[in-house]
Each structure stands twice: as structure tokens, then as C-alpha cells.
């Protein structure tokens, strides 16, 4: 049994894609909200284009905070851009990639792919490893992203199975376990543009790569093994790497660069799609294990705050079901000019989903975190994630924020309650949105409260 969210989001939040485009045995791959990640090249190092709400930005110029945010997201981006600008004034760059790669989606099936490299050498692991960003300030995360210069080369997605000098070099570094030294030669000095719109993730300058020299790239043995196994399906390769302890973000990178799967089916997968695909593959496998485990014997509540996002994760002693609901306040990334809080949510019952979640990748990122925890504990439960996004969340940082925030919450001991009413009173005390509003939005809560009333009624007979 599965169902869409209680409140349907705008159509721009998701777009169903034909999985046959990637040669993957997936139900569906859906792109995240339409963020302009491919920064356009303009004259000069940094240029601007007006986006939604630009008139307010022009009037404000970062001084009057007309958007209502505590900090100006545009100035946050500019600051990070200008820090890296003096270091990339020529057509050449020497640096250590974390390692990082990016596969764009614009123009699919012909896309831009290339390394992400800062203009300095050393241990740059932190710059492109979301598992290490929990509890970091948003300005730090913006700085990490903006330091990464994006080298680009045009390729057809099916080229992953064919190779080529530059693409082979990109694959080599993408699968590395530690930072790799690179020497890049561009067609011109890297440049970047910034769209005056809150829906753009921070990103460094970019340029077309003409030559690339890769230093020594060491691979984990498990990564090397699945890369060489061209008879192993992509989904099986993902699960093999996960079981071997490879970080999810590294698996997503290997998936994106087309290093996994049957030889004839290997494809470049846009970074945004690969993130959700891997979260979905892993959580689906973990759900199969959860369904066979004993049910928890109390109501549990896990709590966590990060980047002005407030999380409440409720576990109910019942067979597996899952729901995730986001509440976006006015003046936040996806509700910049709204007057009311906007809700996005999706639910699935014991049997899982057959359709893509309308709220996008955050649904699968949260599902991976909770199924991972339940399998680790050897227990089963129904799980509800409630997330309030407040105006301090001035920039989108990616769905990793949900996965790692939920993981962080679940690493701490939960609050335990004897019944659902006690747990809901705690949620009502901590979240700002009224409890009756959450009850209207949540299918899971309505189900369990209705069942409670039926039991009470039957006990009185």
C-alpha cells in the first residue's frame, strides 16, 4: 500500500523520468527541484542574472533584508566566490580533488562532466564529503562548495561504457579513496555566474577542460572489484559497496560516473539523479530486512536541529510504514514569497512504494537513515519524520542534509513514551506548528489515532 503526500507540492518539485534512459532497473528516477546548477559562463569572472524576486534584491542590495532572512544569501555566495577568485586567474590550475566529480543534466543525453578541484594542494577531503558536514554552519558549507572549480567536458551518457582520454581520467579520480593531485588546462580562465534566486546551490567557477593530468589515485579494493565486474548489475554493485562500508556519498559518485553495472548498460548519470537513486536502492534493500524483525515495544522520539531545520523522528510500535513531511516557512528556499507555511509529504505502508515520492529526494534520504538504524538495532517500527524549515535556512545545501541530520538524531538516545498521546505532547511542545495542523497533514498519525479510538471503543464493550 502506498500513497502520495497529504498535500500535493508544486509540479516544479519533481518530474518523472523514464528509467530506461539510464539502463537501470529502477522504478523511476526523478530530478530534484529545478535548481540551476550549471553556472553559465559570462564575460569577467563573476556575473549576475536576475531571477525570481530580483526586484527586491536590487532595491535591498543586501542591506535592508527585504526578503525577511536574517542573512543575505547572495552576499554569502559572493563572499565565497571572491575568496577563491585570486587563485584562478589563468588557464591552468593545480590542486587536489577531494575527490569530486559533477555530472550535469542540462542537454541530456549530452551532458557536461568533470572534476571538482580547489586551487590548492593538500588534504581536501572535507570539501566534498557531506558525511563530515553535520553541525557545520551554512557559511562553511557554502565556502566548501565555492572553493571547488568545476572542469567540464561534453560527453554522451553512453560514453561511460566507451571511455576516452579525459573521461577515463575523470573515472580514475572519481573512484579514488583519498584526494588526488590534478593539473588542469582550460580553454580560458574559469568563470562563474550567479543567478539572483534562492533556488541556486552554491557552486564554484567553471571552464572547459582541454588537458588533464592525474596524479596517483588509490582505490578501495571493494570499489575496484565492482568496477571490474561488468556482469554485476548496478543495484547489486551499490549494495555490495554499502555492505563493504563505503560511504554513501562515494557510492553516489561511482554511480554517477557510470562505473557500476553491466558493461553494455553503464551510463553517466546526472549527479542529482544518482544521489536519489542510491538512497532508494539501499533503503529498499534495508526495508526488506526490517519487515522480518521484531517490533519495538515503546514509542520513541528522536530530535535534532541543524541549519535552522528542526527534526522530530517518531517511532511507533507497529509493523513497518514510513512517512516524511516537510513544513517550509515563508522566506525559506522553496517558499520565498509565500504568506503561509507550505507542506510537502509522502507516505508508504508495509508493502513499500510503486511510485516516486512527490516530495523528491529528501524522502529517500530520510528513509535510508531510519531503515539503516532499525536494521542495526534489529527492530521494526512505523517511522514518521517531521521537519520544520525556518527562515535561517537561507540556501539549499542538498538532500544530504536530511540523511545526515536524521542519522545524527538516531545516534542519540531517544525519549521514550508509554503511548502516542504522550509522544505527541512532546512534539507539540518542541515544534512551532500546531499539533492539529500536523495531524491534518499526516496520514500515519490519522491511521494510528483512529486505531486507538477503535481499541478504546472495543475495550468498553
322, 415, 423, 453 from 418: Cα distances, Å? 21, 11, 8, 16
Question: So what's the pLDDT on residue 395?
Answer: 81
Residue ranges per structural domain of the chain:
37-218, 290-459
CB atoms within 10 A of CB 52: 14
Question: So what's the pLDDT on residue 377?
Answer: 98
Question: So what's the pLDDT on residue 83?
Answer: 67
Q: Computed over its alpha carbons, how large is the radius of gyration of the chain?
A: 23
Peptide bond into 144 cis (omega under 30): no
Question: So what's the pLDDT on residue 350?
Answer: 97
Question: So what's the pLDDT on residue 251?
Answer: 98
Cα dihedral angle (210, 147, 111, 176), rounded to 10 degrees?
A: 80
**CA atoms of 433 and 453, how far apart (whole Å):** 24
| Region class of 61: left (phi > 0), else alpha (psi between -120 and 50), else beta | left
Kindly give the confidence (pLDDT) of every residue in the chain, 461 residues in length, as a single tens digit, with 9 standing for 90 and above: 444 443 333 333 333 333 333 233 222 222 222 222 322 222 343 444 444 554 466 457 566 666 767 677 666 666 666 666 667 778 999 999 999 999 998 899 999 999 999 999 999 999 999 999 998 998 888 888 888 999 999 999 999 978 788 999 999 999 999 999 999 999 999 887 554 444 345 667 889 999 999 999 999 999 999 999 999 999 999 999 999 999 999 999 999 999 999 999 999 999 989 999 999 999 999 999 999 999 999 999 999 999 999 999 999 999 999 999 999 999 887 787 788 999 999 999 999 998 999 998 999 999 999 999 999 999 999 999 999 999 888 888 889 999 999 999 999 999 999 999 999 999 999 999 999 999 999 999 999 998 766 455 345 44
Instruction: Report the half-sphere exposure of 27 (CA within 13 A, side-chain side).
Output: 12
Give pTM, 2 decimals. Answer: 0.83
Question: So what's the pLDDT on residue 294?
Answer: 98
Strands 382-389 and 321-328: parallel
3-state SS of the chain is: CEECCCCCCCHHHCEEECHHHCCCCCCCEEECCCCCCCCCCCCCCEEEEECCCHHHHHHHCCCCCCCCCCCCHHHHHHHHHHHHHHHCCCCEEEEEECCCEEECCCCCCEEEEEEEECCCCCCCHHHHCHHHCCCCCHHHHHHHHHCCEEEEEEEEHHHHHCCCHHHHHHHHHHCECCCEEEEEEECCCCEEEEEECCCCCCCCCEEEEEEEEECCCCECHHHHHHHHCCCCCHHHHHHHHHHCCCCHHHHHHHHHCCCCCCHHHCCCCCHHHHHHHHHHHHHHHHHHHHCCCCECCCEEEEEEEECCEEEEEEEECCCCEEEEEEEECCCECCECCCCCCEEEEEEECCCCCCCCCCCCHHHHHHHHHHHHHHHHHCCECEEEEEEEECCCCCCCCCCHHHHHHHHHHHCCCCEEECCHHHHHHHHHHHCCCCHHHHHHHCHHHHHHHHHHHHHHHHHCC
Amino acid at each position: 500500500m502506498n500513497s502520495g503526500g497529504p498535500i500535493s507540492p508544486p509540479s516544479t518539485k519533481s518530474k518523472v523520468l523514464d528509467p530506461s534512459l539510464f539502463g537501470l532497473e529502477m522504478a523511476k528516477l526523478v530530478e530534484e527541484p529545478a535548481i540551476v546548477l550549471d553556472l553559465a559562463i559570462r564575460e569577467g569572472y563573476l556575473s549576475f542574472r536576475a531571477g525570481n524576486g530580483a526586484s527586491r534584491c536590487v532595491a535591498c542590495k543586501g542591506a535592508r533584508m527585504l526578503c525577511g532572512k536574517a542573512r543575505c544569501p547572495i552576499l554569502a555566495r559572493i563572499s565565497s566566490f571572491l575568496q577563491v577568485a585570486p587563485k584562478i586567474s589563468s588557464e591552468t590550475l593545480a590542486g587536489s580533488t577531494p575527490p569530486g566529480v559533477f555530472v550535469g543534466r542540462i542537454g541530456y543525453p549530452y551532458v557536461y562532466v568533470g572534476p571538482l578541484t580547489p586551487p590548492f594542494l593538500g588534504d581536501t577531503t572535507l570539501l566534498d564529503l557531506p558525511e563530515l558536514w553535520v553541525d557545520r554552519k551554512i557559511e562553511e558549507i557554502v565556502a566548501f562548495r565555492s572553493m571547488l572549480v568545476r572542469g567540464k567536458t561534453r560527453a554522451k551518457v553512453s560514453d561511460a561504457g566507451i571511455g576516452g582520454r579525459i573521461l577515463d581520467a575523470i573515472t580514475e579520480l572519481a573512484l579514488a579513496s583519498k584526494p588526488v593531485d590534478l593539473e588542469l588546462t582550460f580553454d580560458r580562465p574559469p568563470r562563474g555566474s550567479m543567478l539572483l534566486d534562492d533556488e541556486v546551490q552554491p557552486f564554484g567557477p567553471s571552464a572547459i577542460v582541454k588537458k588533464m593530468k592525474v596524479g596517483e589515485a588509490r582505490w578501495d579494493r571493494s570499489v575496484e572489484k565492482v568496477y571490474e565486474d561488468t556482469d554485476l548489475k548496478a543495484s547489486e554493485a551499490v549494495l555490495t559497496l554499502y555492505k563493504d562500508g563505503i560511504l554513501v556519498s562515494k557510492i553516489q559518485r561511482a554511480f554517477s560516473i557510470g562505473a557500476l553495472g553491466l558493461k553494455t548498460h553503464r551510463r553517466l548519470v546526472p549527479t542529482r539523479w544518482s544521489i536519489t537513486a542510491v538512497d532508494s536502492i539501499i533503503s529498499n534493500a534495508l526495508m526488506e530486512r526490517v519487515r522480518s524483525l521484531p517490533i519495538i515495544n515503546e514509542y520513541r522520539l528522536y530530535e535534532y536541529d541543524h541549519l535552522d531545520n528542526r527534526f522530530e523522528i517518531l517511532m511507533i510500535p507497529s509493523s513497518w510504514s514510513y512517512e516524511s513531511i516537510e513544513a517550509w516557512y515563508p522566506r525559506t528556499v522553496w517558499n520565498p514569497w509565500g504568506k503561509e507555511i507550505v507542506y510537502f509529504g509522502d507516505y508508504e505502508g508495509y508493502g513499500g512504494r510503486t511510485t516516486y515520492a512527490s516530495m523528491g529526494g529528501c524522502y529517500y534520504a530520510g528513509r535510508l537513515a531510519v531503515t539503516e538504524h532499525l536494521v542495526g538495532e534489529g527492530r521494526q517500527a512505523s517511522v514518521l519524520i517531521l521537519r520544520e524549515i525556518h527562515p535561517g535556512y537561507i540556501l539549499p545545501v542538498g538532500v544530504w542534509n536530511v540523511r545526515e541530520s536524521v542519522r545524527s538524531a538516531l545516534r542519540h538516545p531517544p525519549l521514550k513514551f508509554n503511548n502516542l498521546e504522550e509522544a505527541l505532547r512532546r512534539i507539540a511542545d518542541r515544534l512551532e506548528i500546531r499539533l492539529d495542523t500536523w495531524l491534518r497533514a499526516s496520514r500515519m498519525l490519522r491511521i494510528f489515532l483512529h486505531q486507538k479510538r477503535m481499541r478504546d471503543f472495543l475495550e468498553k464493550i
